[in-house]
């Protein structure tokens, strides 16, 4: 079981609102999976930031890397988040955790 969620901002949210919505979605997703969490974050200048770890959504949003993303001066436009309940594959193998990505694609 997993939780998949996202935000597609069409220009109506401030950065603070976007971050607060993202944190709320991660907190809500904990019922869908507590084993690992990840985020794909696209900024308005088309930079894609990926962060994923084998930790609960609550720990994830308070991790130093997530906090640096949330306090970045880059305005987010799109966010895709994931929380995972491990049913297959080990937690420590990042290839088992989402989001998956290549040079030009995140899913």
For residue 89, the model assigns a pLDDT of: 67
pLDDT tens digits in sequence order for the chain, 107 residues long:
688 889 999 888 988 998 999 999 988 888 887 888 888 888 878 888 888 888 888 998 899 988 888 888 677 888 888 888 776 766 556 566 666 666 766 66
Question: Which H or E run contains 18?
Answer: helix 15-29
Whether 6 and 79 have beta carbons less than 8 Å apart is answered as yes
Phi, psi of 79 (to 5 degrees): -140, 135
* Rounded alpha-carbon distances, angstroms, from residue 76 to 9, 38, 56, 57, 95: 8, 16, 23, 19, 25
- Please answer whether residues 9 and 78 qualify as being in contact, where contact means their C-beta atoms are separated by less than 8 angstroms: yes
């Amino acid at each position: 079981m997993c939780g998949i969620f996202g935000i597609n901002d069409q220009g109506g949210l401030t950065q603070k609102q976007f971050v607060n919505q993202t944190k709320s979605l991660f907190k809500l997703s904990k019922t869908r999976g507590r084993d690992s969490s990840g985020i794909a974050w696209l900024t308005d200048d088309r930079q894609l930031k990926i962060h994923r770890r084998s930790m609960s959504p609550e720990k994830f949003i308070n991790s130093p890397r997530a906090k640096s993303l949330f306090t970045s001066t880059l305005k987010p436009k799109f966010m895709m988040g994931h929380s995972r309940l491990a049913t297959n594959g080990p937690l420590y193998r990042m290839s088992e955790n989402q989001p998956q990505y290549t040079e030009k694609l995140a899913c």
